[in-house]
Amino acid sequence: MPDTAVIQVRRALLSVSDKTGLIDFARGLHDLGVELVSTGGTFRALNEAGLPAIEVSSVTAFPEMMDGRVKTLHPKIHGGILGRRDVDQQVMEAHGIEAIDLVCVNLYPFKETITNPEKT
């Protein structure tokens, strides 16, 4: 039988190319007490809207690189997403990994990216 326990969302990773609806969604999370972690442009949008967020580079201690394509590929992010609080907590604590309970992402505008001569 599947586990139907409700997970309390304490920390969310937000990294979106299309920012439509981002602020309302993030404000709702913030109002529920969720800590927001976000990447470059998403982080700036949240800050401009007056929402507190932690920049992902502060979590990883690495800057975004390769035109922003490499920013969340890090054990402190993947471990936070994949870690199971009841099973992996000791390992996470030993490596300074904080759980990420919710991930909000969308894809880059693929068509616009591949047709841009400066990007190919």
In the chain, what are the domain boundaries? 11-114
The residue-averaged pLDDT of 82-111 equals 87
Hey, how many other C-beta atoms are within 10 angstroms of the C-beta on 103? Answer: 14
Residue-averaged pLDDT of the chain: 86
**What's the pLDDT at 10?**
93
Share of the chain above pLDDT 90, in %: 46
What CATH number was assigned to the domain covering residues 11-114? 3.40.50.1380
Q: Judge whether 76 and 60 are in contact, CB under 8 Å.
A: yes
**What's the pLDDT at 57?**
87
Is the per-residue pLDDT at 66 higher than 90?
no
7-44 pLDDT tens trace: 889 999 999 999 999 999 999 999 999 999 998 899 99
- Name the one residue in this structure whose structure tokens are 């800057």: 63
**What's the pLDDT at 79?**
87
**What's the pLDDT at 26?**
98
Which residues on neighbouring strands pair with residue 103, listed in sequence order?
A: 13
Euclidean distance between CA atoms 108 and 88, whole angstroms: 32
Q: Judge whether 35 and 59 are in contact, CB under 8 Å.
A: no
Hey, how many other C-beta atoms are within 10 angstroms of the C-beta on 68? Answer: 13
Q: Judge whether 37 and 12 are in contact, CB under 8 Å.
A: yes
**What's the pLDDT at 76?**
87
**What's the pLDDT at 14?**
97
